[in-house]
Structure 1
Amino acid sequence: MKGRDTVHALFLVLNETEYLDDILTAFVDIGVKGATILDSQGMGRALLDNENKQIPLFGSIKSFLNNSHPYNKTIFTILEDDALVDKVVQTVKSILGDMSKPGVGLMFTVPIGKVYGMRDD
């Protein structure tokens, strides 16, 4: 790992899973060396599907969740420099469009202190 830039973990909770292949292909094209993809489910959906139906949910939220994707994909990757973080963020935004719209997904980065188990190319 290069010592000049901050190393980041980037997380993308992808609700619109039909874009998964496009995102992974773009990651390879821009130099992301690897990523991990997990099947995931949001808290609202888990509560809605919970057998304990006594949990109150407002009608509009319940209606939204009934029409949303029941499961999503959580992608995370380690990005070795700030320039690559910027490329990945812009690429994901160009594929998904307006991420502030409900139901698209959530993306964030977290700075990492040390990474073990990755080769230093």
Structure 2
Amino acid sequence: MQALFIVLNHVDHMDDILEKFLEIGITGATILDSQGMGSAIAQNHSYGPLFGSMKKFLNNSRPFNKTIFTLIDNDELLDKAMAATKEILGDMTQPGVGLMFSVAVGKVEGLRPFNTSY
């Protein structure tokens, strides 16, 4: 089982991603409001002179983003979810688009088995 994380800077794409997830069989995800370090530093005036020269650069950071995460029980579905996300977001290597990664999950409590209907 894998946890797929998507840090989404262009939040206007969130509904498209969630709709695509439903189409491919992902029926649950959690969405968190999040903020990147650069944005937090740019907004916080107490960091002092260490970050003073970086503020001009960091002020271009998006102030807030969304983090979507979901548990996926097979690699084929994980690949479909990642491909669908890249199709919607475009070139994720470009600055400000977002970040996507998966992490292996050992044990889970609080979920019904994936093959059980609700």
Please give the TM-score of this superposition, normalised by the length of structure 1.
Answer: 0.86
RMSD: 1.5
Question: Structure 1 residues 58, 98: CA separation in 2 closer, same or farther (over 3 Å shift)?
Answer: farther
- Unmatched 5+ residue regions in structure 2? none
Cα distance, 1:27 vs structure 2:
0.7
Structure 1, 46-55 or 92-101: larger mean CA deviation: 46-55
- Identify the match of residue 94 of structure 2 among 78, 81, 101: 101
**How many Å apart are 1:53 and its aligned residue?**
4.8
Q: How does 1:78-89 map onto structure 2 within 5 Å?
A: 78-89=71-82
Identity of aligned residues (%): 54
Per the TM alignment, residue 119 of structure 1 is displaced from its structure 2 partner at its CA by 1.1
AA matched with 2:15: D
Instruction: Return 5+ residue gaps in structure 1 as ranges.
Output: 1-6
Q: Which has the higher helix share?
A: 2
Distance 1:108 1:58 in 2: 31
Does residue 51 (structure 1) correspond to residue 45 (structure 2)? The answer is yes
Quote the residue 1:13 is aligned against: 7
Cα deviation, residue 68, structure 1: 3.5
Q: Give the secondary-structure state (helix, strand or coil) at the position aligned to 1:38.
A: strand
CA 1:110/1:57 → structure 2, altered by over 3 Å: closer, same or farther? farther
